[in-house]
Amino acid sequence: MDELRSKLFYEQKNGYDRIDTAEHVAVEEYCRDYMAFLNNSRTEREAVINAIDQARECGFVEYRPGMELHPGMKVYRCNRGKALMLAVIGKQSLGDGCVIAGAHVDSPRLDLKQIPLYETDELCYFRTHYYGGIKKYQWVTIPLELHGVVMLKSGEVVDVTIGRDPDEPRFVITDLLPHLAQDQMKKTLAEGITGEGLHLIIGSIPYADEGKDRVKLAVLSILNDAYGINEEDFLSAELVAVPAFDVCEVGLDRSMIGGYGHDDRVCAYAELKAIFDVKDPERTCVCILADKEETGSDGVSGMQSRAFDTFMEDLCAAQNVELRRCYENSFCLSADVTAAYDPLYPEVSEKRSEAKLNYGMGICKFTGARGKSGTSDASAEVVAYLRRLFDREGVLWQMAELGKVDQGGGGTIAKFMANRNIDTIDAGVPVMSMHAPFELVAKLDCYMTYKGVLAAYSDD
């Protein structure tokens, strides 16, 4: 009966029961580099800069329209400093399609408003407008750091980073003490902290003079000394507050990684590493690091932007191939994180269908909510292809679904790729506490996601 059972049942195994010592070492090495990348990539702009630096070291050159392309060439195109596309030209024609992996490098955060500064009761604050889906109560009483750019009227760019360096000050949004929180505590988690109330405290010493708004004046003088900016310059600034914790190992066995921005830089890094490591691919490999996924993939740097089609059309033109032919023969891994089953909150999950930590890369055939609404739903044919490929290449993977039916749901860039007539499937790292200031992933799953993307890139 046991024999029959093992022949007929689908049983999953913990990844650590399936990898050998050599692969365990590879997991650790890979994750060490990923942690360094994540620590230095706190915004989409920083992720793109770091990705370009690493790409150049691996021999990638900036693509210029009209450039001649031959097999083995490595090119990249940066979209306005916020999104990046890389390609390794394959031996086959682009008319046979390419292998695409697409992740996003934006993460939930607190954007400063365009008129953010104000003083009240001799304290100075920045007002914010949050970006992406956050649970607001998680963002108070944690250290925050500031990143971004101030574009001056002259066109000059002023880069701002305050709080990443341990010597630098940080910021915080205060919360009520429990002693006086009786009314607040009766509110729901959604209402206890409001979006309009997420203000960072940034100063308290008044300027040594008479008059009003003396703390604000003192704060602005500090900013003016450091960056040469004034209050009006915030109008054309993109400054974001992100958690000021370093990425770190979690657990006595150090098997997990905690940090801000795993969604979706953990998949972005996996793709990058894979496109750096792929050797003489048969089909052209394309890696996308997109922006604006957390707000719906709209806009010039989002996955719905024609910037991607323009890049691909340029590559196709170099081989006299029609873009639509390339698309219809292409395959895309939409590499985005999925929810990991959390034993502390079993009520939202249907355990058997959910991704588990240490079980490998999570494959989502469909996403969406309320009856799969908004999903691209990969075909059974595509899933069968991945089963074949991953099992052959020793990629540990698992089927994943985001929560119980009618519990909620989510979306990724998958549908925007599929809408282009590209066979697409969601695949990525399972995450706990997704969209929290400190998200949790398992090292083994990070490595397997890299291995999965590399297998797709390398397949002929």
Per CB under 5 A, which region of 68-76, 217-225, 295-303, 329-337 contacts Mn ion? 329-337
Q: Any bridge partners for residue 369, and if so which? A: 373
Closer to Mn ion by CB, 145 or 264: give it. 264
The contact mask relative to Mn ion for 213-252 (x = CB under 5 A, - = no) is: ----------------------------------------
Q: Does residue number 264 form part of the binding site for Mn ion (CB under 5 A)? A: yes
Cβ at position 335, least distance to Mn ion in Å? 9
The contact mask relative to Mn ion for 367-386 (x = CB under 5 A, - = no) is: --------------------
Nearest to 403 by CA among 340, 343, 335: 340
Cβ at position 119, least distance to Mn ion in Å? 35
Cβ at position 334, least distance to Mn ion in Å? 10
Q: Pick one of 336, 354, 439, 445: the residue that binds Mn ion (CB under 5 A).
A: 336
Cβ at position 104, least distance to Mn ion in Å? 6
Per CB under 5 A, which region of 157-165, 184-192, 232-240, 257-265 contacts Mn ion? 257-265
The contact mask relative to Mn ion for 103-142 (x = CB under 5 A, - = no) is: ----------------------------------------
Total binding residues toward Mn ion, as defined by CB under 5 A: 3
Closer to Mn ion by CB, 107 or 349: give it. 107
Closer to Mn ion by CB, 47 or 321: give it. 47
Closer to Mn ion by CB, 266 or 318: give it. 266
Cβ at position 103, least distance to Mn ion in Å? 8
Cβ at position 307, least distance to Mn ion in Å? 19
Cβ at position 260, least distance to Mn ion in Å? 12
The residue ranges that bind Mn ion (CB under 5 A) are 263-264, 336
